[in-house]
Structure 1
Amino acid sequence: MSDVERTEFQLPERDVVDTRLQAGEQDAETTLRPRSLDEFIGQQKVRSQLSLVLTGAKNRGVTPDHVLLSGPPGLGKTTMAMIIAQELNTNLRMTSGPALERAGDLAAMLSNLMEGDVLFIDEIHRIARPAEEMLYMAMEDFRIDVIVGKGPGATSIPLEIPPFTLVAATTRSGMLTGPLRDRFGFTAQMEFYDVTDLTRVVTRAATILGVSIDHDAAVEIASRSRGTPRIANRLLRRVRDFAEVNADGHIDMAAARGALEVFDVDEAGLDRLDRAVLSALIRGHGGGPVGVNTLAVAVGEESTTVEEVCEPYLVRAGLIARTGRGRVATAAAWHHLGLTPPDGTLGLH
Structure 2
Amino acid sequence: MSEFDITSVEPLDEAELDFEGALRPSSLDEFVGQRRVVGQLDLLLKAAEMDSRTPDHILLAGPPGLGKTTLAMIVAHETGRALRMSSGPAISHAGDLAALLSSLVPGEVLFIDEIHRMARSAEEMLYLAMEDFRIDIMVGKGVGASSIPLELPPFTLVGATTRTGLLANPLRDRFGFTGHLEFYETEELLRVLTRSAALLGLEIPQPALAEIAGRSRGTPRIANRLLRRVRDYMTVHSSESAIDAVNNALALYDVDPRGLDRLDRSVLTVLINRFAGGPVGVSSLAVSIGEDAETIEAVVEPFLIREGLIVRTPRGRVATQEGWKHLGLTPPANDPTLL
Instruction: Give the TM-score band, short-chain normalised.
Output: over 0.9
Q: Structure 2 counterpart of 1:333, which letter?
A: G
Offset, 1:142: 0.4
Correspondent of 2:101 among 86, 110, 118: 110
Whether the 8 Å contact between 1:240 and 1:251 is mirrored in structure 2 is no
Identify the residue that residue 119 of structure 2 maps to in structure 1.
Answer: 128
What residue is the counterpart of 1:147 in the other structure? Answer: 138
Matching of residue 303 in structure 1 with residue 293 in structure 2: yes
| CA spacing shift, 1:177–1:194, aligned 2, 3 Å | same
- Worse-superposed segment, 148-157 or 171-180: 148-157
| 1:312 alignment partner in structure 2 | 302
| Structure 2 residue 175 is the aligned partner of structure 1 residue 179 | no
**What residue is the counterpart of 2:22 in the other structure?**
31
**How big is the shift at 1:348?**
6.4
User: For 2:329, which of 311, 334, 339 is the aligned residue?
Assistant: 339
Match of 2:43 among 52, 55, 62: 52
Change (3 A) 1:200 1:189: same
CA deviation string 1:163-219 (max 9, x = no partner): 000000000001111111110110100000000000011111111112111100110
> Relative to 1, partners in 2 of residues 1:347 and 1:235: Cα closer, same or farther, differing over 3 Å?
farther
The 10-residue stretch of structure 1 (299-308 or 136-145) with the greater mean CA deviation from structure 2: 299-308
Task: Write the distance in 2 (CA, Å) between the matches of 1:128 and 1:22.
Answer: 34
Matched, 1:327 2:317: yes
For residues 290 and 229 of structure 1, what CA distance do their matches in structure 2 show? 32
Q: Which sections of structure 1, spanning at least 5 residues, go unmatched?
A: 1-19
Q: Any unmatched runs of 5+ in structure 2?
A: 1-10
Which residue of structure 2 lines up, in the alignment, with residue 267 of structure 1?
Answer: 257
Q: Check conservation: 1:216, 1:252, Cα contact below 8 A.
A: no
Cα distance in 2, alignment partners of residues 346 and 274 from structure 1: 24
Rounded to whole Å, the distance in 1 between the matches of 2:12 and 2:24 is 13
Q: Normalising to structure 1: TM-score of the pair?
A: 0.91
Is the CA contact 1:332–1:347 (under 8 Å) kept in the aligned structure 2?
A: no
Distance apart, 1:152 and its partner CA: 1.6
- Which of these residues, 4, 7, 31, is aligned with residue 40 of structure 1? 31
After superposition, give the CA deviation of every residue in 1:34-77 in whole Å (9 maximum; x if it has no partner).
11001100000100010000000000000011000000000000
Q: Which letter maps to 1:263?
A: Y
1:64-75 matches, cutoff 5 A: 64-75=55-66
Distance 1:203 1:251 in 2: 18
Q: 1 CA distance for matches of 2:206 and 2:15?
A: 25
1:285 aligns with 2:275: yes
In 1, Cα distance between equivalents of 2:25 and 2:57: 21
CA distance in 2, matches of 1:256, 1:107: 49
Distance in 2 between residues matched to 1:188 and 1:344, nearest whole Å: 44
Secondary structure of 2:138's partner?
Answer: strand
For 2:17, the aligned partner's letter is: Q
For residues 130 and 254 of structure 1, the distance between their equivalents in structure 2, rounded to whole angstroms, comes to 54
Over aligned residue pairs, what C-alpha RMSD do you find? 1.7
User: Deviation of residue 24 (structure 1)?
Assistant: 3.5
- 1:4 maps to which residue? none
Q: CA deviation at 1:26?
A: 3.1
In 2, Cα distance between equivalents of 1:104 and 1:269? 43
- 3-state SS of the aligned residue for 1:24? helix
Q: In the alignment, is the contact (CA less than 8 A) between 1:124 and 1:168 conserved in 2?
A: yes
User: Structure 1 residue 154: deviation in Å?
Assistant: 1.3
8 Å contact from structure 1 (residues 118, 166) kept in 2: yes
State the number of aligned residues. Answer: 329
Whether contact under 8 Å (2:106, 2:154) holds in the other structure is yes
How many Å apart are 1:331 and its aligned residue?
0.5
> TM-score w.r.t. structure 2 length?
0.94
The equivalent position to 2:211 in structure 1, one of 214, 220, 223, is 220
Shift in alpha-carbon separation, 1:290–1:144, aligned structure 2, 3 A: same
- Percent of aligned positions that are identical: 62
Q: What's 2:5 paired with? A: none
